[in-house]
Structure 1
Amino acid sequence: MHVDLFPTGPLHRLFFALRPDAPTAAAIERVAAPLRVVHPRARWVAPARYHATLLYLGENAGERPDWASRAHEAAVGLTTAAFTLRFDRLAALGTPSRPALALAADVPDALRVLHETLRRRCLERGFRLGQAGSALLPHVTIAYTDPKPALPTIDPVQWHPHHFELVQSVQGRAGHDVLGRWPLLPGA
Structure 2
Amino acid sequence: MPEQLWLPGLEAPPTPTDGLFFAVFPDANTAAIMSKFAQELCAGTRVRSKPLAANRLHVTLLHLGNFAGGLPPDKVDAAMRAAASIRMAPFTVEFDAVASFASKPRPGPLVLTGGGGAAGLHALHDALGQALEHAGFGGRVGSVVTSYVPHVTLAYGMPWAAERPVESMCWNVREFALIHSLLGRTRHVALARWPLTAAQS
Q: TM-score, normalised by structure 1?
A: 0.84
Change (3 A) 1:33 1:131: closer
Do 2:94 and 2:168's aligned partners in 1 also have CA atoms closer than 8 Å? Answer: yes
Q: Which amino acid aligns with 1:51?
A: H
Q: How does 1:1-188 map to 2 (within 5 A)?
A: 6-8=13-15, 11-41=17-47, 42-64=49-71, 65-93=73-101, 95-96=103-104, 97-107=106-116, 108-124=118-134, 125=136, 126-129=138-141, 131-132=143-144, 135-149=147-161, 153-185=165-197
Matched to 1:119, the amino acid is G
Instruction: Tell me, in whole angstroms, the C-alpha distance in 2 between the residues paired with 1:20 and 1:80.
Output: 18
CA distance in 2, matches of 1:133, 1:123: 19
Task: Output the CA distance in 1 between the equivalents of 2:56 and 2:121.
Answer: 21
SS for the counterpart of 1:44 is coil
- Tell me how far apart the structure 2 counterparts of residues 170 and 114 of structure 1 sit (CA, whole Å): 24
Q: CA deviation at 1:70?
A: 1.1
**1:78, 1:133 → 2: CA distance?**
26
**How many aligned residue pairs are there?**
185
| Partner SS state of residue 173, structure 2 | coil
Unaligned 5+ runs, structure 1? none
Instruction: Quote how far apart the aligned CAs of 1:185 are.
Output: 2.5
Greater shift in the superposed pair: 75-84 or 50-59: 75-84
Larger radius of gyration: 2
Distance 2:12 2:165 in 1: 47
Q: What is the alpha-carbon distance in structure 1 between the residues aligned to residue 95 and residue 193 of structure 2?
A: 23
Whole-Å separation in 1 of the counterparts to 2:123 and 2:69: 31
The alignment yields a C-alpha RMSD, in angstroms, of: 2.7
Percent identity at matched positions?
35
TM-score, normalisation: structure 2? 0.79
CA contact (8 A) 1:38 1:150 kept: no
- Contact 2:176–2:196 (8 Å) recurs in 1: yes
Name the CA distance, whole Å, in 2 between partners of 1:181 and 1:158. Answer: 20
Task: Give CA-to-partner distance per residue, 1:94-149, whole Å, 9 cap, x none.
Answer: 65533210011125443322111111222342132263497222211011134423
| Residues 137-184 of structure 1: per-residue CA shift (max 9 Å, x gap) | 221101113442365542221111110000011123333110111111
Would the alpha carbon gap of residues 100 and 87 (structure 1) be closer, same or farther in structure 2, given more than 3 Å must change? same
Contact 1:81–1:110 under 8 Å retained in 2 = no
Q: Distance in 2 between matches of 1:76 and 1:5?
A: 37
Aligned letter for 1:111?
L
Which stretch shifts more, 93-102 or 117-126? Answer: 93-102
C-alpha spacing 1:32/1:149, structure 2 compared with 1 (3 Å): same
